[in-house]
């Protein structure tokens, strides 16, 4: 009888620990997702407003964000649709622009080995530049509750912002409409500022990537989207040699 009671206590303690870990992971994911939620919504409103001006229906605009969930690609696709470019060219262009996600996924794959395969499709769909940055900077073990909270809530913010922009965007003052896109840059700064405080190397890499992009764009060395990708790759390559392992360790 004492053995049975001891086993029940032990099982109850393990269940309580799992529940506490689950709650902590969800809470941590929600806190990490807050800048994404507030950043995605106004940018998505700008997309919804632009989609309406291009002449895309509400249903197709909503499906655009539901199925694609890629901010830069969606804005680029709108410009190409407006210019009358064929669907095949649009698909190819957005594919090339999103090639960076292969690199992101490869980087994260080594940290997701303990996660069941059927979750990988959901995680892969939710990978964005901002989510990847937050996941990469997390020193603790990655778990499903944290990842899903970090990815799904900003996803719904993006979809909701798209629909809101389509429905009420034109009712906003013109100055507000023009400022909606600024939210994207504010969100990146909110993610970057805490890391700059921890390491001067992060500031150096951010400045270098900006310089690479400006030089490439000014001299038209590459198309604008490729200038962005090239700047990221060059900065990441320099960072691999510049940032010491101890700078990113817990």
Q: Name the average pLDDT for the chain.
A: 77
In sign, the C-alpha dihedral spanning 170, 173, 174, 176 is: negative
Q: Tell me the CB-side half-sphere exposure of residue 220, using CA atoms within 13 A.
A: 0
pLDDT digits (tens, 9 = 90+) for 51-107: 888 889 999 999 999 988 888 788 878 877 887 877 877 887 778 777 778 777 777
What is the C-alpha separation between 8 and 6, in angstroms, rounded?
5
* DSSP letter string, 5-43: HHHHHHHHHHHHHHHHHHHHHHHHHHHHHHHHHHHHHHH
Contact 128, 153 (CB under 8 A): no
Domain ranges within the chain, ordered by starting residue:
2-180, 199-250
- Collapse the DSSP code of 222 into the 3-class scheme (helix H, G, I; strand E, B; otherwise coil) and give the result: coil
Q: Along the 250 residues of the chain, how does pLDDT read in single tens digits?
A: 554 545 544 555 555 566 777 788 888 889 888 888 888 888 898 889 888 888 899 999 999 999 888 887 888 788 778 878 778 778 877 787 777 787 777 777 777 767 777 788 888 888 888 888 888 777 777 788 888 888 999 999 999 999 999 988 777 777 766 666 665 566 667 667 777 777 788 788 888 888 888 888 788 887 765 676 677 778 777 877 766 544 444 4
Q: Which two tokens stand for residue 9?
A: 């206590």
pLDDT digits (tens, 9 = 90+) for 110-125: 777 677 777 888 888 8
């Amino acid at each position: 009888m004492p053995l049975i009671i001891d086993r029940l206590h032990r099982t109850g303690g393990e269940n309580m620990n799992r529940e506490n870990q689950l709650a902590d992971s969800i809470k941590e994911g929600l806190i990490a997702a807050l800048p994404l939620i507030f950043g995605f919504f106004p940018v998505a409103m700008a997309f919804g407003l632009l989609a309406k001006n291009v002449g895309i229906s509400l249903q197709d605009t909503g499906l655009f964000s539901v199925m694609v969930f890629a901010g830069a690609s969606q804005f680029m696709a709108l410009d190409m649709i407006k210019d009358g470019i064929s669907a095949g060219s649009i698909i190819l262009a957005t594919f090339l622009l999103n090639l960076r996600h292969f690199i992101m996924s490869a980087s994260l794959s080594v940290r997701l080995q303990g996660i069941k395969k059927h979750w990988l499709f959901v995680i892969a769909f939710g990978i964005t530049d901002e989510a990847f940055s937050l996941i990469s900077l997390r020193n603790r073990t990655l778990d499903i509750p944290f990842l899903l909270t970090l990815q799904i809530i900003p996803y719904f913010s993006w979809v909701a912002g798209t629909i809101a922009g389509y429905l009420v965007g034109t009712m906003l003052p013109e100055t507000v409409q023009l400022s909606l896109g600024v939210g994207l840059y504010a969100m990146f700064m909110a993610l970057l500022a805490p890391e700059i405080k921890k390491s001067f190397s992060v500031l150096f890499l951010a400045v270098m990537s900006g310089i690479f992009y400006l030089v490439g764009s000014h001299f038209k060395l590459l198309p604008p989207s490729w200038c962005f990708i090239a700047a990221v790759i060059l900065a990441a390559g320099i960072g691999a040699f510049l940032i010491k392992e101890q700078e990113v360790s817990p």
